[in-house]
Amino acid sequence: MKEKIIQKASELFLNLGFKSVTMDDIANEMGISKKTIYTHFNNKTELVLEAVLAVFHEITCGIDHIQALQKNPIEELYEIKKFALQQLKNEKSSPQYQLQKYYPEIYATLKQRQFEKMADCTLSNLKRGVAMGLYRENLDIEFVSRIYFIGVSGIKDDQLFPMSQFPKAKLMEDYLEYHLRGIVTANGLKILNQFINQQTN
């Protein structure tokens, strides 16, 4: 039952926002009593933490799977972007903004874990890209990896990038192209152009 509560809470939080969804809403959606939820979680904050970590775990497992396929580094980044978009497709609120505003400690925990995971993923991608001659060999990969993380985090800010002006899919597409154009070699650019053409056709 605990796992089912986390799953339903995660859906509702992503769709409606962490602030908007009450324990009553979750209980009503599941057809259970609020008391049942409180036998597994002491309070809403505890449930929010569990839900956030569950979603994070699901996304990291998906990224691990993509990395294990050992595709060329440019294709790998496009696959990760596609997977991330699928994960976010049901977001109708601004979950990151609400999490930051109402649950700052949980947001800080999540951001640290995201940084650690993404640093591993991006460093591995950059090293392989340089070794394969697709990324420039003079890259400072620690610097590029951190700048990429800042950018990926930054474009989630709905105040800077309102959805009405910057649809999520287009925004992620444009940012990935921006990142890759700065680091590819001539050979890498040929592969990148193939992916850009695929997106526009």
pLDDT digits (tens, 9 = 90+) for 45-71: 999 999 999 999 999 999 999 999 999
Distance CA 42, CA 39 (A): 7
For residue 160, give the CATH number of its domain: 1.10.357.10
pLDDT of res. 131 = 97
pTM: 0.86
pLDDT of res. 93 = 55
Residue by residue, DSSP assigns 154-192 as HTT-TTTS-TTTS-HHHHHHHHHHHHHHTTB-HHHHHHH
**pLDDT above 90 (res 163):** no
Mean pLDDT (the chain, rounded): 92
Structural domain including 16 reads 2-200
State the average pLDDT over residues 139-149: 96
**pLDDT above 90 (res 121):** yes
Closest residue by Cα to residue 96 from 88, 87, 107, 109:
107
Q: Which residues contact 21 (CB under 8 A, 6 or more apart)?
A: 9, 12, 13
pLDDT band at 92 (very low <50, low <70, confident <90, very high): low
Burial label, 116 (beta-carbon count in 10 A; 0-12, 13-18, 19+): exposed
State the average pLDDT over residues 104-121: 93
Neighbour count for residue 156 (Cβ, 10 Å): 16
pLDDT of res. 84 = 85
pLDDT of res. 97 = 80
Distance CA 176, CA 132 (A): 19
Neighbour count for residue 201 (Cβ, 10 Å): 5
Render pLDDT for 183-193 as a digit per residue (tens, 0 to 9): 999 999 999 99
Q: Which residues contact 143 (CB under 8 A, 6 or more apart)?
A: none
pLDDT of res. 4 = 96
Render pLDDT for 1-15 as a digit per residue (tens, 0 to 9): 999 999 999 999 988
Q: What percent of the chain has pLDDT above 70?
A: 96
Structural domains counted in the chain: 1
